[in-house]
Amino acid sequence: MGHSAVFECPIGYKLEGASGITCQYNGKWSADVPRCEEIECPLINIPDNVLLIEHNNTFGGKAVFTCMWGHKLSGSQSIRCESDGRWNGSMPTCLEITCPVPETPRSGRIVEQTRYPNKKQYRNRIYKVGALMRFACLPGHQLIGEASIICTENGTWSHRPPVCKCRYD
Model confidence pLDDT, tens digit, residues 32-88: 889 999 999 999 999 889 999 999 999 999 999 999 999 999 999 999 999 999 999
Quick check: do 50-96 and 98-166 share a fold?
A: yes
Q: Can you give the residue ranges of every domain in the chain?
A: 4-38, 50-96, 98-166
Q: For residue 51, what pLDDT is reported?
A: 96
In this structure, whether the domain defined by 98-166 belongs to CATH 2.10.70.10 is answered with yes
50-96: CATH number? 2.10.70.10
Q: For residue 112, what pLDDT is reported?
A: 74
Dist CA 167 CA 142 (whole Å) = 6
0.75 surpassed by pTM? no
Residue 61, exposed/middle/buried by CB under 10 A (0-12, 13-18, 19+)?
middle
Looking at per-residue pLDDT, the higher value among 77 and 168 belongs to 77
Q: For residue 169, what pLDDT is reported?
A: 65
4-38: CATH number? 2.10.70.10
Q: For residue 123, what pLDDT is reported?
A: 56
Residue 44 in contact with residue 65, Cβ under 8 Å? no
Amino acid letter for position 90: S
Q: Count other Cβ atoms within 10 Å, centred on residue 108.
A: 20
